[in-house]
Structure 1
Amino acid sequence: MHAALVTSFDRPPRWTEVPDPEPGPGEVLVHVLAAGLHPRVRSGAAGTHYTSDGVLPLVPGFDGVGRTEDGRRVFFAGLEAPRGSMADLVAVPADDLVDLPEGLDDVTVAAVMNPAMSAWLALRHRAGLRPGEAVLVLGATGNAGRLAVQLARHLGAGRVVGAGRDPASLAVVRRLGADAVVPLTADDAAERLAREAADVDVVVDYVWGAPTEGALAAVTGARSDPAHLLRWVHVGATAGPTITLPAATLRKTNVQVSGSGQGSVSPVAMVSALRELAAALPQVRPQVDVVTTPLREVEAAWGATTASGTRIVLVP
């Protein structure tokens, strides 16, 4: 079969022939129809993801849409190197397959499931969002952040605030359902966060680093009731891997900081959440910009420049 193959962490994968996968016990072959090129895939192919074991070669791709030999159209995720979804075929544990409802095409599902899953896990399973609660999405201008805004609305959030570094993309975030937006690059970003998000119940944080330090100080410093629980869920670190957290913040405000990702949610719970999300997507009707690229052009796709909020999806 043909697949993308990573032979060096310093170079993009190349399209080549590799042996067909041989399913192990409990696994089935899936013919891949679409696979998203998202940050989790890039970090895995670069050997920088926290789950990477540094072993090469590997086929990149964490998830995808495919069809089983008996005709089921499925989504699958959680692939571990060296196997990946950027190939003609992949062997997947049968218990991990998620049957897809009608109403969304293969490319759209491949584009949205990974970023939407990050938001779904954070909102439902880590924060336990309840209808009527208020949500702040830090990093709302990227794929995952935009979907977090849409899913927060779907889950009944009473107020949604989107914050990000791209003012032009924030206009899109507003159209997707945010009640207010805050440009993190503005000189008065802290004042705007204090005004628009002082009393949110949940923060879904895709940025971390210095923007999180500023946002955490602004939000906790402006709360009308410091004892009201603030659930701050860290999902991504686009602005940096660390923060400085003043001890006083945890004493003067009832804030709960947790993470959401591989390891913080069990594999069984992850598959269950994927099934919940897949069933909800036809009602959510997520809006996402997609660039579809043939798998044989994976090397060029790896270096392609796309607009904020656009997802590349590789197809056979």
Structure 2
Amino acid sequence: MKAAVLKSFGSPLAIEEAADPVLGTGEVIVDVIATRVLSYMNEVFSGARNYAFDLPIIPGPGGIGRVRAIGPDATKLSVGDWVFCDPTVRSRDDAAAPDIALQGLTAPGAGAMRLQQHFRHGSFAEQMRVPTENVKRLGTIESEDATRWCALGTLLVPYGGFLAASLQPGETVLVSGATGNFGSAAVSVALAMGAACVVAPGRNDKILADLVRRFGDRVKPVKLSGNEDDDRESMKRAAPGPIDCVLDIMPPSVSTNVVRAAIMTVRPNGRVVLMGGVGMAGGAGLELPYPWIMRNCISIHGVWMYPPDAASRLIALVRAGLLRLEEYEATAFDLDHANEAVAHAAANGGPFKLTVIRP
């Protein structure tokens, strides 16, 4: 099969023939039709992000494809099924605390590296081998629609955060980082899950206005000033009532003051979900006041990725018409132009934008 292979950090992807994946028990072989290119993939390939994986590797976290072959433990899948390949690979011998690797992307920790030794290669290839439980049926779609279905990979991340927060219909949500790629996805997911209102703070007037244009007056934009106390009060005033849940999905480059201002808007007995990058690049910690957390009974939940059933549940939201993949503007490249796709993703990583490779 043809694949894009990363052989060393800082080098371009090599487009070459690779061995076809071999099916084992508990596995599915999928023909890759479309796969998302992360906006920061160039930083992963250069080594700047210090992601953990062995080289050489066929990168690519998940994708959309059709089942080529199934193992004896698959009772619902059929050859030819359209599927989403979930890149979140979990060890199977400890359900309470599994090791987790992101297939084709990173394997943080010794246990995850052991997983990666087998499920290392990702979706920048004509075929990939995926754990059976990571293959989620989409139902019937047209081949050209596979490009936009790649948005599932972005939408799933904030969806996992809201599932952890037990977001309920009618609640008021604040998305810290609403003008980013994952943050704008969080706005759409919260509304699809029935949030009555989403407070969307940010500094980019154009993106804030676009969120309102797309989703209407259930989105309450707030222009941030950079003053922590003033911004906190502005966010509270924008909400029609108490803020039930705050999701932080800010990137590592953002000041802790901005993140703290948003988190501390939550009502007493409210929930906070941390999914962003604060501290990953060094610097000060978040420093939330212990008395505020304790006296207000604040629940703080750190979340990485999402539970195993999240993809199927999110697909159901799309199928019900509650979550619109049509919001996404997609640009597709063939596998021979994978390096150009990586460069394009880095330059076009804004809200509701997709860069996709179609092997």
TM-score, normalised to structure 1, is 0.85
Match of 2:337 in 1: 297
Equivalent position to 1:260, from 293, 297, 303: 303
Instruction: Report how far residue 24 of structure 1 moved.
Output: 2.2
Mind listing any 5+ residue stretches in structure 1 that lack a counterpart? Answer: none
Equivalent position to 2:184, from 146, 151, 163: 146
Note if 1:247 corresponds to 2:290: yes
Match of 2:200 in 1: 162
Equivalent position to 2:221, from 181, 188, 192: 181
Equivalent position to 1:115, from 134, 147, 154: 154
Match of 1:279 in 2: 316
Instruction: Single out whichever of 188-197 and 299-308 deviates more from structure 2.
Output: 188-197
Equivalent position to 1:137, from 175, 179, 187: 175
CA separation of 1:33/1:39 partners in 2, compared to 1, >3 Å: closer, same or farther? same
Contact in 2 for aligned 1:30/1:68 (Cα 8 Å): yes
Note if 1:65 corresponds to 2:64: yes
Contact in 1 for aligned 2:34/2:356 (Cα 8 Å): yes
Match of 2:109 in 1: none
Once the two structures are superposed, residues 83-108 of structure 1 have per-residue CA deviations (whole angstroms, 9 ceiling, x without a partner) of 10110011112232111034671011
Letter in 2 for 1:64: G
Instruction: Single out whichever of 251-260 and 295-304 deviates more from structure 2.
Output: 251-260
Letter in 2 for 1:251: M
* Consecutive aligned runs of 4 or more in structure 1 exceeding 6 Å deviation: none
Distance 1:258 1:123 in 2: 10
Instruction: Report how far residue 72 of structure 1 moved.
Output: 0.7
The alignment-based identity, stated in percent, is 28
Instruction: Report how far residue 45 of structure 1 moved.
Output: 4.3
Contact in 1 for aligned 2:29/2:130 (Cα 8 Å): yes
- For 2:243, what is the secondary structure of its paired residue? coil
Once the two structures are superposed, residues 160-200 of structure 1 have per-residue CA deviations (whole angstroms, 9 ceiling, x without a partner) of 11123422111111123242112335665344223225821
Instruction: Single out whichever of 248-257 and 129-138 deviates more from structure 2.
Output: 248-257
Match of 2:236 in 1: 194
Once the two structures are superposed, residues 58-93 of structure 1 have per-residue CA deviations (whole angstroms, 9 ceiling, x without a partner) of 111111000112211111112255310110011112
TM-score, normalised to structure 2, is 0.75
Distance 2:161 2:46 in 1: 25
Instruction: Report how far residue 278 of structure 1 moved.
Output: 1.0
Distance 2:55 2:220 in 1: 46
Distance 2:173 2:46 in 1: 33
Equivalent position to 2:85, from 73, 76, 93: 76
Letter in 1 for 2:335: L
Instruction: Single out whichever of 189-198 and 151-160 deviates more from structure 2.
Output: 189-198
- For 2:292, what is the secondary structure of its paired residue? helix
Note if 1:98 corresponds to 2:130: no
- For 1:108, what is the secondary structure of its paired residue? helix
Distance 1:213 1:119 in 2: 22
- For 2:246, what is the secondary structure of its paired residue? strand
Instruction: Report how far residue 288 of structure 1 moved.
Output: 1.3
CA separation of 1:84/1:219 partners in 2, compared to 1, >3 Å: closer, same or farther? closer
Contact in 2 for aligned 1:211/1:239 (Cα 8 Å): no
Distance 1:115 1:108 in 2: 11
Mind listing any 5+ residue stretches in structure 2 that lack a counterpart? Answer: 69-78, 88-102, 105-115
CA separation of 1:211/1:173 partners in 2, compared to 1, >3 Å: closer, same or farther? farther
Distance 1:253 1:48 in 2: 40
CA separation of 1:99/1:171 partners in 2, compared to 1, >3 Å: closer, same or farther? same
Match of 2:13 in 1: 13
CA separation of 1:212/1:101 partners in 2, compared to 1, >3 Å: closer, same or farther? farther
